[in-house]
Structure 1
Amino acid sequence: MTNSSPIPVVIAGAAGKMGREVVKAVAQADDMTLLGAIDHRADVVGEDAGILAGVGPLEVPLTDDLQGMLVLASQEKQPAVLVDFTHPDAVYDNVRSAIAYGVRPVVGTTGLSPAQLQDLAEFAEKASIGCIVAPNFAIGMILLQQAAAQASQYFDHVEIIELHHNQKADAPSGTAIQTAQLLAGLGKTYNRAIVTETEKMMGARGSLAEEGIRIHSVRLPGLIAHQEVIFGAPGQIYTLRHDTTDRTCFMPGVLLAIRKVLSLKSLVYGLEKIL
């Protein structure tokens, strides 16, 4: 891809906090052009996406017509990309529609079920269309997960705490689930019980993931996205923590995924697969 042939990008959820950051990042990228911006909030439809994102007029009005925008994207000379930061209830249909139109999805929305992911993977492979689904686009989180995998060789007890803003619809977070799956796939069982536990209040011990790993979710205003992986052993605690203080930290990963998805022919899950 050359600078004379920029990547056409459509952003779903463009009026949201993450969507606005993506609009800004795409607008400032030399090898991309903002083709369309989609949001279903009636109060923003028709507004200029650039003004809403704080980067000045881009002459791209927000629309609530996803199908119409995908038709337009499918007619571009260069392969187009759909970046989805919407809602767990909408993301599956959005991604399936994009693949059907030959538009490459880059998905940051979490909440897809394993069955939905499998269906999308099969659909993308059949269509030979690249798709990237990433629970987290922060490079620091990828490094945390790699450190957790290394630490698991020496610790048999671990729990995960994830903390997010109170507008997040799904719990546990996709990143926490992915971290638990990573640790569970390393061939050991964690947190073998030495007593019979009783929860006096349901959910006090968090959700139980694979191989005995517990995940605890916190939802509060003032938070953005945070995760701790806490390992314990006699006489010591080892804590790994990643804090998101600004959503701009996700943008290098999003832009990388937009560029990489063009060369893929199937669905890839996790940003670490394309680094």
Structure 2
Amino acid sequence: MTDTSSTTTSADDRPAPEAAGSTATAAAASPAARPTTAGRDLTVAVIGAGGRMGAEAVRAVEATPGLRLVGRYGSADELGDLGGADVAVELTVPAASPGNVAHCVERGVHVVVGTTGWDEARLSTLREQLAAAPPAATGAGVGVLIAPNFAVGALLMMAFAAKAAPFFESVEVVELHHPAKVDAPSGTAARTAAMIAASRAEAGTPVPPDATKSDPDGARGVSVDGIHVHSVRLRGLTAHQEVLLGNAGEQLTLRHDSFDRTSFMPGVIAAVRAVADHPGLTVGLEHYLGLD
């Protein structure tokens, strides 16, 4: 299947100007014909290179020894053979992401996905696609990482919150982003709430107390597995999150702030290097970093 859906911007980003001739090309090669990565650079394509997050990923790949950028794809570009890439980094919009990922999987290309909107229905379809996929260039199964957040500090904050949550009677999540972000709550906040809920359920912690009887227009936020999540959109922000935990007479606040998209790049690069070692579907970069 050749995907021609839009790959313009990340759900978190507004478009940035794209350089002329932005689509890199390489000699066409089927997944079976490409050599393993032993003794050569890992080749990478960025889908959504016209967005701010995608443009930052292009710069990070180009600056990293051992990685070689072979394709950058924007809104007007067909993905084709992805320049013979070993790994694709997918940073687009929720409407385009499933088609882009399927295109990669069908060609035996590993994928690191930073786009939001991957609900359980989409994940189930992706698992079926992976089961039918050809082997990757490395000879193993294709690996796909769905990463709600690439910032290492944010991943640690999520892990800390899940660890602390059973010890507190109340817990809520507040996420704060720039006003161009199209989804709410953020994927990071939703995953944080799910991790907190799972940790509390495993420990047998009761649901947080809440006497609210009137909730006009969602004043109490959205409930994710019983954990309230609140979204703020404000000019001047980039990506921020707080987890508020409370007991009688005390409160613990865990907060992470990303002031610039460069904060996500170490995680993106770590994911690119590791995805081939994790065949199948993985949700959350924390599993690659040993934080699970």
What is the TM-score when the length of structure 2 is the normalising length? 0.79
Aligned residue in 1 for 2:41: 6
User: Secondary structure of the equivalent of 2:191?
Assistant: helix
Aligned residue in 1 for 2:213: 197
Aligned residue in 1 for 2:264: 250
For residue 207 of structure 1, the aligned residue among 222, 230, 234 is 222
Aligned residue in 1 for 2:79: 67
Aligned residue in 2 for 1:31: 66
- Distance 1:196-1:22 versus aligned 2 partners, 3 A rule: closer
RMSD: 1.5
* One-letter amino acid matched to 1:137: F
Does structure 1 residue 139 correspond to structure 2 residue 152? yes
Does structure 1 residue 160 correspond to structure 2 residue 173? yes
In 1: Cα distance, 2:281 partner to 2:228 partner: 28
Per-residue CA deviations over 1:50-88 (Å, capped at 9, x if unaligned) read xxxxxxxxxxxxxx22332xx243xx3xx6111011111
Q: What are the equivalent positions in structure 2 for 1:104-183 lying under 5 Å apart?
A: 104-127=110-133, 128-183=141-196
In 1: Cα distance, 2:69 partner to 2:87 partner: 10
- Distance 1:152-1:72 versus aligned 2 partners, 3 A rule: closer
In 2: Cα distance, 1:66 partner to 1:72 partner: 9
Does structure 1 residue 16 correspond to structure 2 residue 51? yes
User: Secondary structure of the equivalent of 1:214?
Assistant: strand
The question of whether the paired residues in 2 share the 8 Å contact of 1:158 and 1:190 is answered with: no
In 2: Cα distance, 1:36 partner to 1:100 partner: 18
The question of whether the paired residues in 2 share the 8 Å contact of 1:106 and 1:132 is answered with: yes
Per-residue CA deviations over 1:99-156 (Å, capped at 9, x if unaligned) read 0111111001111121101211232244231111100001101111121122112102
The question of whether the paired residues in 2 share the 8 Å contact of 1:231 and 1:239 is answered with: yes
The question of whether the paired residues in 1 share the 8 Å contact of 2:47 and 2:72 is answered with: yes
User: Secondary structure of the equivalent of 1:166?
Assistant: coil
For residue 267 of structure 1, the aligned residue among 281, 285, 290 is 281
Aligned residue in 2 for 1:90: 96
For residue 216 of structure 1, the aligned residue among 230, 240, 246 is 230
Residue 90 of structure 1, CA deviation: 0.7
* One-letter amino acid matched to 1:260: A
- Distance 1:157-1:106 versus aligned 2 partners, 3 A rule: same
In 2: Cα distance, 1:124 partner to 1:65 partner: 24
User: Secondary structure of the equivalent of 1:106?
Assistant: strand
Q: What are the equivalent positions in structure 2 for 1:45-84 lying under 5 Å apart?
A: 64-68=76-80, 71-73=81-83, 76=84, 80-84=86-90
- Distance 1:259-1:225 versus aligned 2 partners, 3 A rule: same
In 2: Cα distance, 1:108 partner to 1:224 partner: 16
Residue 96 of structure 1, CA deviation: 1.0
The question of whether the paired residues in 1 share the 8 Å contact of 2:73 and 2:79 is answered with: no
In 2: Cα distance, 1:271 partner to 1:28 partner: 21
* One-letter amino acid matched to 1:207: V
- Distance 1:89-1:189 versus aligned 2 partners, 3 A rule: farther
In 2: Cα distance, 1:218 partner to 1:114 partner: 25
The question of whether the paired residues in 2 share the 8 Å contact of 1:205 and 1:214 is answered with: yes
Percent identity over paired residues: 44
Unaligned segments of structure 2, at least 5 residues: 1-36, 134-140
Residue 233 of structure 1, CA deviation: 1.3
Aligned residue in 2 for 1:47: none
Give structure 1 regions of 4+ aligned residues with deviation exceeding 4 angstroms: none
In 2: Cα distance, 1:25 partner to 1:218 partner: 29
The question of whether the paired residues in 2 share the 8 Å contact of 1:88 and 1:169 is answered with: no
